[in-house]
Structure 1
Amino acid sequence: MSLIAFLGAIELGFIYGLVALGIFISFRILDFPDLTVDGSFPLGAAVSAALIVAGYNPYLSTVIAIAAGCLAGFVTAWLNVKLKILHLLASILTMIALYSINLRIMGRPNIALITEETILTPFADLANMLGISSYMLMPIVFLVIAALIKFSLDWFLGSEIGLAMRATGANAKMARANGIFDGKMILLGMAMANGLVAFAGAVFAQSQGSADVTMGVGVIVIGLASVIGGEALLTPKGITRATLACILGSITYWLAVSLALNADFIGLEAQDLKLVTALLVACALVLPGSRFGRLFRKGAAK
């Protein structure tokens, strides 16, 4: 694997680490199987790209993209909480609707951002000033972004509202018995989760130089692979370790994908990405319960 491929995998690992954190909120904290992320990821990219091309400030465009993602998650939760639609079906309905909405927002299947100013432009200029390539600086930038969001999420989940949200996911009936409005917690948590995913989509589009309506296909699988794989590598014994595991799982996933696609002796090509993803998810599901996984965790605990 070349240095460019390695740093590119690290960069993608931090970006998709935000997706993993969003999925962690919905799946692990709220126990809410959410497929909305396949629509909210390209939603963040579509909103930010469309606004940037229209001449809006890239930072404002990114904030609006996050708000759009929060709205998408809120709609999914509202369908479940208020209309009593099964959570999985509610997320599928929102995901399907977002495909058409994203096309409406962009006005075409994709938008190029290569010549536009984005939130990453100042860092590219800084790299030029330092005399280094931008691909060497960007992983550090995304490391800082991921770390800030990780510690902010740790703080929130340790707060009173965060504890109420965790209680709702653990046992909704008991939470209601203790005076927690579980419906409001689900609405808030789902909005937060999809806001994070939309932010990742906006940053991804600005990093790659384009937004595409199909870029959300399979995001839920990548996010789940990151969460499950991270938990296999780093047994979560608390929120701090659990969120760290999500980011580590995402980095490990993209390093494994990059290694597989760049290993000539394996013979894999770009079109085999989904196959590699499926194999990695299967390994992440099987390894924790295997003898090797138990021995690995015992060694890590010492």
Structure 2
Amino acid sequence: MAGYLSSLSFLDLAGRLPASVAQGLFWGIMALGVYITFRILDIADLTVDGTFATGGAVSAVLIMKGVNPWLTVLVALLAGLLAGAVTGWLHTLFGIPAILAGILTQYALYSINLAIMDFKANTAISSLTPGLVISGLNVNQSILVCGLIVIALVALMYWFFGTELGSSLRATGCNPEMSKAQGININRMKVLGLAISNGLVAVAGALSSQYSGFADVNAGRGSIVIGLAAVIIGEVLGEAILGKKLNFAGHLLFVVVGAIIYYVVYTLVLWLKMNPNMMKLFTAIIVALFLAVPYLRSRAKNSFAKAGKNARKGA
């Protein structure tokens, strides 16, 4: 035990934390996309596992063809918008349940992503490529750039969801029947929400490929779980800190904070020399615990539950 503790270096941990923050920021963009479907539309969309890889593949291939890296992020956004719209159309036009529509699109995207990368499992991006948006070789600059992108996206989302169109989208997720009665085209809103969500996920995938220096066809596997972890951790933390003062903009910011915390925990697990292959198990446990917190808190505040508990104590 003493030998194990002596092998841990706090300087090594401190050196790893900036990279964790950088990764948490661009995965936070992905989590913002998950937030739109999971919280606003109340849809479990599994398309994101495919669109994350799509964004990375599009960005990597275009960069290697000499396209400006910033422009490749915009093209990745368009590709994500289209993929999300396909899921929406499968759900609204053909009556396929949303979760199955997402699985179908994700399944199809695997082949599409391979085709984008000329049927190669991965595509490398030269670290010497000029003008990369972010790069793992310059972590501090990546944190700054990603931080500015996150702030811009949160501000844009806060503005959009305050408009008539954005409010209609939020109303659709809150109460579809009442929204329909008010004249809102809920099918159109679902397609729009799924498109925006996957557009953000594809942007995160494009930034991830530039940061890591390669795009991989399996890069998005498990993305939905990481996104959910970020959303749940951020919400619980935000409500614990701000309580009823937590507004919509706060929710969005804390989603990104949740992604950063997730990657800090991931780094801590690696620093403690635990088996990284067990990280999916740790993630599942963390998500399950945080998902249970709101339910357990509501039960604790429930007067009937308290009365029953007091009655049992009296007996």
TM-based fold match above 0.5: yes
Instruction: Find 1:262's aligned residue among 257, 262, 271.
Output: 271
Kept after mapping to 1: 8 A contact 2:84/2:198: yes
> What CA distance in whole angstroms lies between the structure 2 residues aligned with 1:139 and 1:190?
28
Question: Which of 101, 104, 109 is 1:98 aligned to?
Answer: 109
Q: Secondary structure in 1 aligned to 2:26?
A: helix
Residue 146 in 1 paired to residue 150 in 2? Answer: yes
Structure 1 residue 114 corresponds to structure 2 residue 126: yes
| Residue type at the aligned position of 1:82 | L
Distance 1:118 1:224, change over 3 A: farther
Instruction: After superposition, give the CA deviation of every residue in 1:108-164 in whole Å (9 maximum; x if it has no partner).
Output: 00011134526536x77xxxxxxxx72223212211111111111111111111100
Mapped partners of 1:160, 1:31: distance in 2: 19
Residue-by-residue CA offset, 1:170-227 (whole Å, 9 max, x unaligned)? 1111111111111111111111000000000000000110000011110000000000
Structure showing greater Rg: 2
1:240/1:180 CA distance change after superposition, 3 Å:
same
Matched residue type, 1:274: K
Give yes or no for the alignment of 1:176 onto 2:175. no
Task: Write the distance in 2 (CA, Å) between the matches of 1:50 and 1:182.
Answer: 36
**What is the identity, as a one-letter code, of the residue corresponding to 2:288?**
A
| Deviation (angstroms), 1:52 | 1.1
May I ask how many residue pairs the two structures share in their alignment? 283
For the residue of structure 2 that corresponds to 1:111, the secondary structure is strand
Matched, 1:17 2:28: yes
Separation in structure 2 between the aligned mates of residue 170 and residue 99 of structure 1, nearest angstrom:
32
Match of 1:238 in 2: 247
CA RMSD, 1 decimal:
2.1
The change in CA–CA distance for 1:269 and 1:6 in structure 2 (over 3 A counts) is same
| Aligned residues of 2:70 and 2:132 also touching (Cα < 8 A) | no
Give the deviation of 1:289 after TM superposition: 4.2
Name the counterpart of 1:198: 202
Q: State yes or no: 1:220 paired with 2:224.
A: yes
Report the secondary structure of 2:78's partner residue.
Answer: helix
Residue 60 of structure 1 and its aligned partner are, at CA, apart by 2.0
Tell me the distance in 1 between the aligned counterparts of 2:278 and 2:271: 12
Q: Distance in 1 between matches of 2:139 and 2:127?
A: 17
CA distance in 1, matches of 2:270, 2:289: 17
Structure 2 residue ranges without an equivalent (≥5): 1-9, 302-315
Cα distance change, pair 7–88 in 1 and its aligned pair in 2 (3 A):
same
- 1:4/1:135 contact within 8 Å kept: no
Is the 2:233–2:290 Cα contact (8 Å) retained in structure 1? yes
Q: TM-score w.r.t. structure 1 length? A: 0.88
Q: Deviations over 1:234-285 (max 9, x none)?
A: 1274311211121111111111111122124xxx133222122122212222
State the 1:33 CA deviation.
Answer: 1.2
Shift in alpha-carbon separation, 1:232–1:253, aligned structure 2, 3 A: same
Match of 2:79 among 68, 86, 95: 68
Stretch moving more, 176-185 or 66-75: 176-185
Equivalent in 259, 264, 284 of residue 290 of structure 2: 284
Q: Which amino acid aligns with 2:160?
A: F
1-structure distance, mates of 2:260, 2:19? 10
* Residues 173 and 256 (structure 1), Cα distance of their counterparts in 2 relative to 1, 3 Å cut: same
Aligned to 1:274: 280
One-letter identity of the residue aligned with 1:205: S
| Shift in Å, 1:94 | 0.3
Partner of 1:300: none
Cα distance 1:161–1:118, how it changes in 2: closer, same or farther (>3 A)?
farther
Determine helix, strand or coil for the equivalent of 1:234: helix
Q: CA deviation at 1:290?
A: 4.5
* Structure 1 unpaired stretches of 5+: 125-132, 296-302
How far apart are the structure 1 equivalents of 2:130 and 2:51? 20
Structure 1 equivalent of residue 55 of structure 2: 44
Aligned-partner residue type, residue 275 of structure 1:
L
Alignment match, 1:134? 138
For 2:306, the equivalent position in structure 1 comes to none
Q: SS at 1:193's partner residue?
A: helix
